[in-house]
Structure 1
Amino acid sequence: MLKFQETAKHVTVGRSNSACSDAMIARRYTIERKLGNGSFGSVYLVSDKKAKQGDKLKVLKEISVGDLKPNETVEANLEAQLLSKLDHPSIVKFYASFVERDSFCIITEYCEGGDLDLKIQEYKQSGKVFTQRQIIDWFIQLLLGVNYMHERRILHRDLKAKNIFLKNNLLKIGDFGVSRLLMGSCDLATTFTGTPYYMSPEALKHQGYNTKSDIWSLGCILYEMCCMDHAFSGHNFLSVVLKIVEGDTPSLPDRYPSKLNAVLSSMLSKNPSMRPAAAEILKIPYVDEQLKNMQYKYSNMNVKDKGLNWQKEAAPIFDAVQRKVHLQTLQELSEVQKMSPRERMRLRKLNAADEKAKKLKQLAEEKYQENVKRMQEFRSRNFQQLNVDVLH
């Protein structure tokens, strides 16, 4: 089989050449065209000969394994298999992974609308902004996707506008190239990676990365959708870092509701323990109200709107919203006796989980303050020692 680069070159230059047009990857994927180069390798649009009509187009990501040891390749493949089990309408579907020659290959869903960064730039150049309704719908879609990941103890670690894709005007989280599976609820992934504009203070200070770091990045994306610009910007890397670590929390323009601005501010709290989890954001009254508005909108779509796109894309989003609204409604019901035994048990578990989360959050805040105090004392002692050394 030809190497992918060679195959792509032959396909684009001489499509009529039958030998090249018939070239198959893993005996099922034919390269249609090269989509570009990502941070981890080349990306191609391919046709899947084994897929159903209408679902044939997929994306192939080619990652050079280079000098990776066999066990590292196996680990990458295992992680890819675990990620392939993610099944949510707000997450780019991960179909398969395999090693071909000296490349690790990933097959994912194709999103015809491109990425969110490109859409923002298009609107910005034409002097347009997204409607408030569109922003809220997209934000909730991303929240549902992030909550789904975090419930399964998966971090994305590189959430940014370029890794959010559009399909039938719905947003999908993609590019899990640097995601990590959490082995425990308090584990911190310490690898320093990601785009500076979306990186959290704790990641920039090498203090580790957890679910709350994903929430920070999502807050930056929310700001960008509202303002068509980065939440933290500067002339160079260092100036951006300083604004993220020490600068003021940005606010939304007055045309947006103060309640949405309050949600953004909580997501961009410098202290990760003070940031709400995705599940907590979905329970904020303002966000919960928007969830119910989405449910009403989808449930009242006319027959014309509920065409092919509804069946393939909007319907799963509606189901996800409906499930989330139902769970949150259970918590608000005062007449518990009207619930089924299963619903009462579910409510008790939810309440117990909420109480545990509150206690953990309080404990985390206390520990954070202790660490800050200890660090200040440590710096003070070192400064005093430095003065003594200089005097002598």
Structure 2
Amino acid sequence: MDWTRGHTLGSGSSATVSLANSLRSGDVFAVKSVELSRSESLQREERILSSLRSPYIVGYKGCDITRENKKLMYNLFIEYMPGGTLGDAIRRGGGQLHESMIGIYARQIVQGLDYIHSRGLVHCDIKGQNVLIGEDGAKIADFGCAKWTNGKDDRKVQIAGTPFFMAPEVARGEDQGYPSDVWALGCTIIEMATGGAPWPNVANAVAALYRIGFSEELPWIPSFLSDQAKDFLSKCLRRDPKERWTASQLLKHPFVGELNPQAKQVQESYSDSPTSILDQNFWSSLEESEAQGYLKQASFSNSPAERIRKLWTFSRVENWTRDDNWVTIRGSTNEESNVPADYMEDEASPVSRSEAVSSSHDVEKVESHGDGEEMEDFLDSKFSCRTCMKDSVVVSNFNFEIDKEHLLITSTSISNFLAS
């Protein structure tokens, strides 16, 4: 497919997301790109996403390899979601969403979870940053940390995710199954309601893991939520994973029932539906999104003055979602490439022969000339995809030992983390 790369929509340590359009059809889509030598995680996400078909999962559009600026790039094509992330929607709502809107998004996320769980897949990193908003509502995205439960998983790292959204059993390094996604859903609902972290008084990731994993506490449920919303959260946020409701059960809860007229009116008021490649202000940089720091403890006034204060302070508060702030504990983050040297240096390689031509608007025309079967064989044979690198930062394969009420974390990187 011949396509044109537009402006950057977001960038992070694992990939850069750009707007793109097909030269043949004119269709607009998003492309996640990373150098081929560092593309193991993105290729793994491609294999997962290409197997999913649901209106509640971001759509898969294809993939290819191009040569741009003398570098081989691996590109994953996905559905363009003009509303950006759920985190962006929270900020546009002044730091918190109307409860009717929370119910709408929660239902769509649960429907997505019900679908992937029925396929034997655990997302492992549900949070506002990994839910995208489009004209039809919310869709689950970013499957870089996902894992299969049916034995066909190639991922070596067993535990992954974002510490503040981890379920107790995950924080203890015991298990990461379907119930852990349900717990993270509950934390995401708190995020939508407050614009704040599920554990607002916890100083850092290590403290969060200990508190989540080894105390008897639950995330604080906002008192201003309706009884129906509180009851829904109580079904998600149970410390014993066996007692948590499944996604299928949650779909029958009245909090995420079918849209009522009030909810439809609220949804329309929140709807953003840009349709052209020029309507790009709805996507903020992923780095900027992480740096905004909206996931802080929030006050809960809905007054205009309070909303303005929140908007003014977004760029000033500490950022705890950036992945370089987290510590990886016994993580498998080997980023050494399995790409043979001749693929990196041979300009005539059929996999890599592409041309990138710059235009006056800093837009690149990318022509992919590689044979499709050759590229598929190359991807299948040359890569043993690892997981999650530094995508959403992740604490993986950590090991806790409890001795006389003291937590011993067996990792040399902890001392560096605590000293920072």
TM superposition score normalised by structure 2 = 0.56
The offset of 1:181, in angstroms, is 2.6
Query: Which amino acid counterpart does residue 238 of structure 1 have in structure 2?
Result: V
Counterpart position of 2:161: 194
Could you list the per-position Cα deviations for residues 232-266 of structure 1 after superposition, in whole angstroms to 9, with x for gaps in the alignment?
A: 13222222223322252134333322232122122
In the TM superposition, what is the alpha-carbon distance from 1:189 to its structure 2 partner? Answer: 8.0
Matched, 1:282 2:251: yes
Distance 2:34 2:178 in 1: 26
The answer on whether the counterparts of 2:17 and 2:33 sit within 8 Å (CA) in structure 1 is: yes
Q: Which one has a larger percent helix, Structure 1 or Structure 2?
A: 1
- Residue 275 (structure 1) shift: 1.3
CA 1:173–1:260 in structure 2 vs 1: closer, same or farther (change >3 Å)?
Answer: same
Aligned residue type for 2:236: M
- SS of the residue 1:43 aligns to: strand
**Alignment match, 2:90:** 120
Asked if structure 2 preserves the Cα contact closer than 8 Å seen for 1:33 and 1:45, the reply is yes
C-alpha deviation, 1:119, in angstroms: 2.2
Contact 1:44 1:61 in 2 (8 A): yes
User: Does structure 1 residue 48 correspond to structure 2 residue 14?
Assistant: no
Contact 2:44–2:144 (CA under 8 A) maintained in structure 1 = no
Q: CA deviation at 1:170?
A: 1.1
| Structure 1 residue aligned with 2:133 | 166
**Partner residue in 1 for 2:31:** 60
For residues 136 and 13 of structure 2, the distance between their equivalents in structure 1, rounded to whole angstroms, comes to: 25
Partner of 2:111: 144
**Structure 1: gaps of 5 or more residues:** 1-26, 310-375, 381-392
Is 1:36 the counterpart of 2:6? The answer is: no
Q: CA deviation at 1:177?
A: 2.0
Matched, 1:86 2:52: yes
Distance in 2 between the 1:61 and 1:257 partners?
39
1:110 to 75, 80, 86: 80
1:238 to 200, 203, 206: 206
User: How far apart, in 1, do the equivalents of 2:44 and 2:117 lie?
Assistant: 19
Corresponding position of 1:206: 173
CA distance in 2 between counterparts of 1:189 and 1:249 reads: 30
Please report how far the alpha carbon of residue 116 of structure 1 lies from its aligned counterpart in structure 2 after TM superposition. 1.1
1:57 partner amino acid = V
Kept in 2: contact 1:199–1:213 (CA 8 A): yes
Q: Greater CA deviation, 134-143 or 90-99?
A: 90-99
236-245 or 77-86: bigger deviation = 77-86
1:188-337 equivalences under 5 Å are: 191-233=158-200, 234-245=202-213, 246=215, 248-284=217-253, 286-287=254-255, 290-294=256-260
Question: Contact conserved, 2:42 with 2:76, CA < 8 A, in 1?
Answer: no
Post-superposition offset of 1:122: 3.7
Which amino acid in 1 is paired with 2:28? L
1:96 pairs, out of 51, 59, 62, with: 62
Distance in 2 between residues matched to 1:82 and 1:254, nearest whole Å? 39
Structure 1 range deviating more: 93-102 or 220-229: 93-102
Structure 1 194/276 Cα, relative in aligned 2: closer, same or farther at 3 Å? same
* Change in CA separation of 1:33 and 1:274 when aligned onto 2, cut-off 3 Å: same
* CA–CA separation in structure 2 for the residues paired with 1:282 and 1:295: 19
- Please tell me whether the aligned partners of residues 251 and 261 of structure 1 are also in contact (alpha carbons under 8 angstroms): no
Structure 2's unaligned 5+ residue stretches are 274-400, 405-420
Equivalent AA in structure 2 for residue 142 of structure 1: I
Q: Secondary structure at the match of 2:258?
A: helix
Number of residues paired by the alignment? 267
Distance 1:270 1:64, change over 3 A: farther
Return the letter of the residue paired with 1:98.
D
Instruction: Give the whole-Å Cα distance in 2 for the aligned partners of 1:204 and 1:39.
Output: 24
- Higher CA-based Rg: 1
Q: Alignment partner of 2:52: what SS?
A: coil
CA distance in 1, matches of 2:228, 2:198: 18
Q: Secondary structure at the match of 2:62?
A: strand
* 1:120/1:228 contact within 8 Å kept: yes
Distance verdict in 2 for CA 1:67–1:253, change over 3 Å: closer
CA deviation after TM superposition for structure 1 residue 161, in Å:
0.7
Question: 1:12 matched to which residue of 2?
Answer: none
Give the residue type in structure 1 aligned to 2:161: G
Deviates more, 1:141-150 or 1:224-233: 224-233
Distance of aligned partners of 1:188 and 1:217 in 2 relative to their CA distance in 1, 3 Å threshold:
farther
Q: Please give the alpha-carbon distance, in whole angstroms, between the structure 2 residues aligned to 1:195 and 1:62.
A: 22
Q: Deviations over 1:24-74 (max 9, x none)?
A: xxx4121111122134222111112233x5xx2211111334278xxxx6x
Partners of 2:105 and 2:232 lie apart in 1 by: 15
Identity %: 25
Q: Is the Cα–Cα contact under 8 Å of residues 236 and 244 in structure 2 kept in the other structure?
A: yes
Q: 2:123 aligns with which of 131, 135, 156?
A: 156
Residue by residue, what CA displacement relative to the aligned partner does 1:196-246 show, whole Å, maximum 9, x if unpaired? 121222222221311111111111101111222121132222222233222
CA contact (8 A) 2:7 2:18 kept: yes
* Per-residue deviation, 1:87: 2.1
Distance change (3 Å), C-alpha of 1:106 and 1:279: same
Q: Which structure would you say has the larger RCO, counting Cα contacts within 8 Å and 6 or more residues apart?
A: 2
